[in-house]
Amino acid sequence: MGRRGRRSGKTSPAVALLVGLVLGFIVAYYTPGIGLKAKSEELEALRLKLAEKEAEVENLTAMATKLQSELEQTREKLRDLKQRLNVTVVPLPNREYFPLVKRFIEAANDTVYVAMYVMKYDVAERDDPVNMLLDALVDAERRGLDVRVLVDDPTKRSYADTIEFLKNHSIPVRLDRSSGITTHVKLVIIDGKYVFLGSHNWTESALTRNNEYSILVISRYYAQKAMLYFKGLWNNGRPV
């Protein structure tokens, strides 16, 4: 009996082999699956992180684009401010107006636009200061400059010789858009940079006797605004 008990406690080689094969199969079958699952989870985590980073990059790109736009707007404002500040104003009281506006018209290179409430040409007095200014306009037109003159109805009614003089010398001249509207400006714009404005009409009394006050503004920024104003009057003006 004792011998049989000891024999029954031993494992058969065939059984041991079978158990080993089963265990090996189990290990071979399940272990790779566990590894693939772990790798899959790791890849999913990496994919989520990549998506987060891509979203961050997209947000940063949008912020950079916005900042670039704001920077350009700031630069444009600085350029505009620089143009506004780049201005010189020369006071022209009384008799100081005539010689300077005449000299600037004579030196003009491109455009001379004049909007004047009253402009009086004197056929009997050639050395009248207004005649000298009109002669300077004629010379500018002959040099190929764009010369335009806009006057109000009092000039047409009282000083028709002025309009005839301008037309006879090929200078375009117009009235403002309606006889019911008074265009009381005294404005001369030269070369899109120099603006004479103030109280001086182009009459002998204004240029030689009256108390008058005008200024010369040297600024492309403000000259362009004055030109827009003049062209608005001109485009709506009446032919004469």
CATH number of the domain enclosing 220: 3.30.870.10
Strand order in the sheet with 111-116: 88-93, 213-218, 194-198, 186-190, 111-116, 146-151, 173-175, 238-239
pLDDT the model gives residue 32: 54
pLDDT the model gives residue 9: 57
User: What gap in Å lies between CA 134 and CA 151, rounded to an integer?
Assistant: 13
The whole-number mean pLDDT for each consecutive block of 10 residues of the chain, a chain of 240 residues, reads 52 66 58 63 82 87 89 83 86 98 98 98 92 98 98 95 97 94 96 98 98 97 97 96
pLDDT the model gives residue 46: 82
pLDDT the model gives residue 5: 47
pLDDT the model gives residue 30: 55
* Boundary residue ending a domain (52, 82, 112): 82
User: What gap in Å lies between CA 195 and CA 50, rounded to an integer?
Assistant: 63
pLDDT the model gives residue 114: 98
Range of the structural domain that residue 167 is part of: 88-239
pLDDT the model gives residue 27: 56
Asked if 100 and 162 sit in the same domain, the reply is yes
Asked if 71 and 172 sit in the same domain, the reply is no
pLDDT the model gives residue 76: 84
User: Is pTM, for the whole model, over 0.85?
Assistant: no
Asked if 153 and 183 sit in the same domain, the reply is yes
User: Are β-strands 173-175 and 238-239 bridged in parallel, bridged antiparallel, or unpaired?
Assistant: antiparallel
User: What gap in Å lies between CA 221 and CA 150, rounded to an integer?
Assistant: 22
